[in-house]
Amino acid sequence: MEVNFALSEISSLIPWLVWIVPVVGALLIPLLSRVNSSVRDYAPSIFALVSALLATSLLPLVFAGETLHHTISWIPSLNINAGVLADPLAVLMANFVAWISFLIMVYSIGYMHGESNLTRYWFFMLFFIGNMQLIVLSDNFLQLFFGWEGVGLCSYGLIGFWNKDKEEHMVGSPNHKALGLLQSYLPSHAGMKALVTTRIGDIAFLIGLLLLYAYAGTFSFIELAENASWAKEMAAVGLLIPSALFIFGGAIGKSAQFPLHVWLPDAMAGPTSVSALIHAATMVKAGVFLVARVGPIFYVAAEAVDIIAPFFMTIAWIGVFTAFLAATQAMVAKEIKKVLAYSTVSQIGYMMLALGSAGLTSDFAFGFSAGFFHLISHALFKASLFMAAGALIHSTGTRFLNEMGGLRKNMKFTYIAVLLAAASLSGIPPLSGFWSKDAILASVLSMDSYSSWYLLYALALITAIITVFYTFRMVGMVFFSKTNLGKNNNVHEAPKIMWIPYMILAFATFLLGLIGPAFEHFLHDTLGASLKSQFGLISHSHHSGLNNVAVASSLFAVIVGGFFAYQFYISSKWSADKVINSNSILSNLHTFFTNRWYINAIYYKIFVLPTVKLSGIIFNRVELGMFDKINDSSANASQSFSTLSDKFDRYVVDKAVNGFAYVSVKLSKISRTLQTGLTQEYIAMFIAGIIIVVITMFFRIVL
C-alpha cells in the first residue's frame, strides 16, 4: 500500500537525503581538507553515519508493509520524472549498504592512516556510497543508470588509488604467466581493466533501456509494472527477451559474472577498505539488486505472453556456472584477497542462481527472498573477511598465504572474527550463511518442472563443497600452519579502530544465524507482500520452511569440504603439494585453475593485445606519421613566414620609415635656413613666389 505523503513532507525527503548526504559530503571533502587533516579524515564517517540513520528511519515502512514513492519533474519535454521508491526491497538494501559502508569508513581511518592523497580517497568513497544508494532508491531506469555509472567511475578511481604503481601494490604473483602473458597487474592497469570491462556490460544495459523505452514510453518501474501492453508489442517483434538479456548484461558486468568476471580479482590492487566496500556494500551488489528490481517486471511481462523460461534460465545458468568457475580458482589462489575476490564472484553467482530460479517456480517470492537473504548474509561476512584480511596484510607485510601462518596467537581478535565469518561463508550452522545457502538450494529444488533443475542443483552442491574447502584452506594457511614470517615475526593485533568494525560484522552474521529461519520467513512474507501489491504475484508461505534435502546437502558439503581442508591445511596430516605433484591429472587441473581457466589470458590475446597493437600502429602512422608531420610542417611554415616577415620589416618597412625620416630632417634643415626672421627676406620670397606663379600660368596659356 502506498503512503499518502500529504501526511508529512519531511518524510518524503528522507529517501532523497539517504543518497544526497554522501554525495554532498564528497563534494565538501576538498574544502574540509583545507581546515586540517583530522577534520578531513573523520568527517566522511559522520556523513556515512547520517546517511545510515536516515536509512534506518525508513524501516517502519517495511514493518508496516508500506511503500513510499515520491517524484519531481525532471525532463518535462519527455515526460520523465525523477523519483525515489522506498519499498521493502529498497529500504532493506539501503540499510545494509549504509551501515556496512559506515563501518568500512571507520575502519578506513585506521587502515589508510599516513597515506597520501587521502582527499581523493575520501571523495571517491563517499561518492561511491551516494551513487550506490541512488541505484537502490531510484524509481526509474534512467535515474538508476546515473548511479550505475557513478559507481563505475568511483571503482576506477579507488581500484587505481595507488597510482604510483609500486610493486608492493601489485595484484598477482610477479612472475606468473599464462599463455606467455604475465598475470600480475599494477593498480593503474587494474583500475582501467575494471572500467573497460564493466563498460561492456553498461553498453548492453543502455541498449536494453532504450529498447524498453522505445516500446513502453517510460523508464518508471511502477508504470512498467502497471501496464504490460509494451511486453506484448516487444514480444510480437521478438525483442522482449533480448531487451531483458541486454539489461541483464549490465548486471553481468557490475557483478562480475561470466563472461565479464575477469576484472574483479584484479581489482584487489586497490586498498583493502575499497575491496570491502566493492564486495560487500556497493558495485558487485548493484548487479544483484538490478536483477531483483527488474526480475518481477519481466516475470509479469513475460507471463503475459507465456515466454518466461529463457530469461530466467539464462540468469540461473550464468549464476551457477560463475559460482563453480570462481570457486575452482579460489581453492588454488595464493593471495588472501584474491581468495576472497574469487569467493565474492562465486557467491554472487549463488544469488543469481536464486533470482533465476525465482522466475522458474510458481512462487516467485521463494527464490527472490532466498537470493536477497544471501545478499544480506554475504554482505556481513564478506565485509568482515576483507577488513580482517587488510589487518593481516597490514600486520604481516605480505599478501601471500604461504608467507603467513600461525597467526591465531598473535592476532586473537582477528582470528575470532575470521573464524566466525569463514564459518558463515562455508555454510556451517547456525551462522547466517548456512540458512541463506540452504534457502538457495531449496529454491533450485522447487524448479522440478524444468528438466535441467538437477544439473543446476548438482553444480551448486559441488560449488558448496569447494567453498568450504577453499575457505578453511585460507584459515589454515593463515592461522594454523607453521609460520613463514621469519625475522618479520613481530606481528601484533590491529588497532581497535580497525578490528572493532569487522568484529561487529562477524558477530552480526552469528546473531543473524541464530534467528536465521525466522529472518528467512520474515523476508519471504515481507517481500512476498510487496510483490503481490506491486505486481500481483501470489506467494505461498509454506515454501519458506526448511527443505530436508537442501539441509542434508548443506551439511554434506560442510563435512566433505571441511574434511579435506582440515587434513591438508589445519592438521597438515596430508601434503597438498605432494598429492598434486604425484598425479598428472591433479597437476594439470591445478595449473588450469591457477591460470584462471586461461579465460583472462585468452581475452588479452584476442582483445587487449590486438587493440594495443592497433593503437600503436595508429600512433606511429597516423599520430606521428601524419598529424605530427602536419603540425611540424605548419610550425616550420609559420617559422619561415615569421623570418621572412622579420626581414621585410627590417629591410623594407624600417628602411622606408627611416628614409622618410631622413628626408624630412634634411628638408627641415633646409627650410630652417630660409627662416631668418628678416622682413625684407620674407617680402623677397613672396615676390619670387608670385613671379614663379605668373611664369607658370604664362607657359600654360602659351602651350
Average pLDDT of adjacent 10-residue blocks, the chain of 703 residues:
52 94 97 94 97 97 93 90 96 97 98 94 98 97 97 96 91 93 95 96 97 95 91 91 95 97 96 95 93 93 74 95 98 97 98 94 91 97 97 93 91 96 97 96 84 90 98 96 68 94 97 95 94 83 71 96 96 93 95 97 95 86 74 73 74 72 68 59 66 69 61
User: What pLDDT does residue 667 have?
Assistant: 65
Backbone angles phi, psi at 232, to 5 degrees: -65, -40
Q: Extract the runs of DSSP E, i.e. beta strands, from 189-236.
A: none
Buried/exposed code over 77-98 (b: 16+ C-beta within 10 A; e: otherwise): eeebbbbbbbbbbbbbbbbbbb
Q: Which residues contact 12 (CB under 8 A, 6 or more apart)?
A: 5, 68, 70
User: What pLDDT does residue 169 have?
Assistant: 92
Smallest CA-to-CA distance from 501 within 414, 404, 593 is with 414
User: What pLDDT does residue 1 have?
Assistant: 45
H-helix segments, 237-271: 240-254, 263-266
3 state SS of 332:
coil
Contact 379, 93 (CB under 8 A): no
Contact 107, 272 (CB under 8 A): no
How far is Cα 343 from Cα 324, in angstroms, rounded to an integer?
Answer: 10
How many C-beta atoms surround the C-beta of residue 677 within 10 A?
Answer: 6
Q: What is the pTM of this model?
A: 0.88
User: What pLDDT does residue 302 have?
Assistant: 75
Q: Which residues contact 448 (CB under 8 A, 6 or more apart)?
A: none
3 state SS of 87:
coil
Q: Which residues contact 55 (CB under 8 A, 6 or more apart)?
A: 18, 91, 94, 95, 97, 98, 99, 133
How many C-beta atoms surround the C-beta of residue 462 within 10 A?
Answer: 18
How far is Cα 315 from Cα 84, in angstroms, rounded to an integer?
Answer: 27
Strand partners, 67: 2
How far is Cα 496 from Cα 697, in angstroms, rounded to an integer?
Answer: 117
Which amino acid, 434? F
Alpha carbon of residue 476 to chain centroid: 31
